[in-house]
Amino acid sequence: MPLEAVVADANVLLSAVIGKAAQKIFSEHNLKVHASEFNASEVGEYLPVMARKYALPVNLVVLRWRLLPLIIHPASEYAGHYKKALADLKDRDPEDAHALGLARALNCPLWSNDRHLAKFEVACYTTARLLKILEMPKGR
């Protein structure tokens, strides 16, 4: 069964807006990418930081962010899964609970380069793995 959708965490979205490999997911593949409103807000806060870090014009980074074809979900859509995700991540980054909770609510894999997210019952793909899956010839 082909992969149709993923839930992205903030870090892969930031990677996409600065033009790293994550950007190929959006520009070269027909994959629905979901994100929590919390994670989208987190990305928005870090855009100027990323622009400075990579010597990119802030306006360009903001424009790339606005053009990403994302489906953004409010916390109310995954509220029933958030508490468990938060408990699962109690010793890690609690901000990752938003993406994990949304992935559980949508029954979608996670797209994250955070290795600690790979140990839950939700499939978790790094950018490299996701690109490999998407670039496989059809029928394999």
Residue 60 lies in a domain: yes
Token pair listed for 109? 């894999």
Domain count, the chain: 1
Residue 140 lies in a domain: no
Cα–Cα nearest to 104, from 116, 130, 92, 86: 86
Which tens digit of pLDDT belongs to each residue from 24-52? 999 999 899 999 999 999 999 999 999 99
- Over range 109-130, report the average pLDDT: 90
Model pTM?
0.92
CATH code at 15?
3.40.50.1010
> Could you give the CA distance from residue 119 to residue 5 in angstroms, rounded to a whole number?
20
Domain that holds residue 55: 5-134
CB–CB of 131/21 below 8 Å?
Answer: yes
Residue 139 lies in a domain: no
Q: Is the pLDDT of residue 104 over 90?
A: yes
